Structure 1
Amino acid sequence: MDRNLLPEPVLIDRADGVLTFTLNRPECGNEISASMFEAMSAALRAEAQDPMARVLRVRAAGDAFCVGRERAGVDAVSIRREVARLIEMKRLVRNTSLISIAQVQGDAMGFGLGLAMLCDFTLVASNATLAFPEMRKGLPPAAIMAYAGNYALPKALFPMVLFGDAITPDEALRAGLITRICNLDVLQTNADELTHRILALDETGARQCKAFFQAAQESSVEENFRAATDMLTVSSLRLMQGR
């Protein structure tokens, strides 16, 4: 088949304040390829330079959300390049000013589950199976462990990453890895409703709220109090001037 006629591995769309990534390799469980990393990272860098959207939605075609990433590295240089690329995308997803929603309609494994966790809201279909299976091949999932402790308690998280057992959505919710469990037939509607709620918020206030929330998790309470004084002063003046 002519490569030019092959479907795009990730569909990227901007409309009505929403940037949408649709993983589009259902034939291989939506494994993330190098070209998908590059396309999504480029879109997020463009948003950082010139914000056009307010919401990021990550979803997938087919039965699985994402069962991992392709591994093509064969030596230290190529493996390090692969890892740097995936970490750069994770950093961009986490740091974007867009409020992000993962719409997990099916199985999410390894990188797929890690990507969904990084989103501000992680909606998961009740039929999905989740897992960090890397250790079953002897590979510690370090790129996920780098931030997973911000979401789950250590006693719940460590067995998940150590043994790689399948995790039900209920277990993931109790551990703090996801936001909400939805029946598959209403997952799209729930994600749409959440998007509309975000878009109804004050745009500047929403971006500031996300930025402060993330920064506060990595700073001391005293540092947060000082930053809160600055933010509340600036935000209050902005709202007063807008009346």
Structure 2
Amino acid sequence: MNTLFMLPNTEMLALQVENGVATITLQRPTVHNAFNAQLITELHLVCDAIRASSDIRVVILSGSGKNFSAGADLNWMQQQGEASEAENQADALKLANMLRALATLPQPTIARVQGAAIGGGLGLVSACDMAVAADNATFATSEVRLGLIPATIAPYVIRAIGERQAYRYFQTAERFDALTALRIGLLHEVTTPEALDTVVQQLVSSLLAGAPVAQTACKALIRDIGRTLLSDECLADTASRIAKHRSSAEGREGLAAFLEKRPAAWTLPPSKS
């Protein structure tokens, strides 16, 4: 029997728990599950609740509607663009801490991806231990198109795809498809939209066959010998970097150009042949 419950003040998320498997669903389909301050806070709360539960063995992160998550909510971004650098840093730290809460859950985590996973949405995918996507999924770190940088998600994306690929996609902001994401290491499996849940459940079955204490120890082992340090200093550094760019003239121009549907000031005109 399914148990469906909403934690206090989680209007933008649902948490369903069945047979030791928790499914977190982002529930802002009309804005493609875009981030805002409330969603960030709620997802952090859910992660803390899952961390404290001895009954949950596996966590699935999904998005409602056609897209997994299109990144930052435009209204929220506009507010941050008008805020001071100090306010931006405090806000970015909330996102950084939420991502760390997800990435350091003791339980195995699986991102179930359909449609777009852009910016912060790609960060969520990267922060999960495993990722399965439909073949219609698309990905991008699009921040430089807005005069920003993917700072808070960087530890997780670089961990997933490596420095060499990050040099390309952080700077070009290209969109890439599911097969490319599989090739560069972001995804573990690509399947049809119709088979997505089946493939996720196959992974869940494999995980439930493992010893939970040993699985938690495996996660700690990988973190301890990995190169990415998710320390308070690292989070403060990444938050400071994005705050600086959000409140900069370039960041404000990038967001304004996006909202006004015009080329940004730094965009070169097409070359004449």
**TM-score range, shorter-chain basis?**
0.7 to 0.9
Q: Match of 2:246?
A: none
Q: Match of 2:130?
A: 121
Q: How does 1:48-59 map to 2 (within 5 A)?
A: 48-59=51-62
Give, in whole Å, the separation in 1 of the partners of 2:39 and 2:119.
16
Q: Which residue type is aligned with residue 69 of structure 1?
A: A
Q: How does 1:52-131 map to 2 (within 5 A)?
A: 52-70=55-73, 71=77, 72-73=79-80, 74-131=83-140
Give, in whole Å, the separation in 1 of the partners of 2:211 and 2:164.
38
1:23 paired to 2:26: yes
Task: State the Cα distance separating 1:77 from its structure 2 match.
Answer: 3.3
Give, in whole Å, the separation in 2 of the partners of 1:205 and 1:69.
36
1:201 paired to 2:210: yes
Task: State the Cα distance separating 1:49 from its structure 2 match.
Answer: 3.7
Task: State the Cα distance separating 1:52 from its structure 2 match.
Answer: 3.0
1:156 paired to 2:165: yes
CA gap of 1:146–1:202, structure 2 versus 1, over 3 A, is closer
Corresponding residue SS for 2:16: strand
Q: Match of 2:156?
A: 147
Q: Match of 1:4?
A: none
> Is the contact made by 2:25 and 2:63 (CA closer than 8 Å) also made in structure 1?
yes
> Is the contact made by 1:157 and 1:175 (CA closer than 8 Å) also made in structure 2?
no
CA gap of 1:47–1:128, structure 2 versus 1, over 3 A, is closer
Identity %: 27
Task: State the Cα distance separating 1:36 from its structure 2 match.
Answer: 1.6
Which is further off, 122-131 or 201-210? 201-210
Give, in whole Å, the separation in 1 of the partners of 2:153 and 2:42.
21
Task: State the Cα distance separating 1:183 from its structure 2 match.
Answer: 0.9
CA gap of 1:79–1:61, structure 2 versus 1, over 3 A, is same
> Is the contact made by 1:94 and 1:119 (CA closer than 8 Å) also made in structure 2?
yes
Q: Please, what TM-score do these two structures have when normalized by structure 2?
A: 0.73
Give, in whole Å, the separation in 1 of the partners of 2:174 and 2:156.
19
1:36 paired to 2:42: no
Task: State the Cα distance separating 1:174 from its structure 2 match.
Answer: 1.5
Give, in whole Å, the separation in 2 of the partners of 1:195 and 1:19.
11
Q: Which residue type is aligned with residue 158 of structure 2?
A: G
4+ runs of 1 displaced by more than 6 Å? Answer: none
Which is further off, 64-73 or 142-151? 142-151
Q: Match of 1:236?
A: none
Give, in whole Å, the separation in 1 of the partners of 2:162 and 2:39.
31
> Is the contact made by 2:138 and 2:178 (CA closer than 8 Å) also made in structure 1?
yes
Residue by residue, what CA displacement relative to the aligned partner does 1:123-166 show, whole Å, maximum 9, x if unpaired? Answer: 11111111111100110111122333222233322111101111
Give, in whole Å, the separation in 2 of the partners of 1:207 and 1:153.
23
Task: State the Cα distance separating 1:50 from its structure 2 match.
Answer: 4.3
> Is the contact made by 1:130 and 1:166 (CA closer than 8 Å) also made in structure 2?
yes
Q: Match of 1:179?
A: 188
Higher relative contact order (CA 8 A, sep 6+): 2
Equivalent of 1:13 in 10, 13, 16:
16
Corresponding residue SS for 2:110: strand
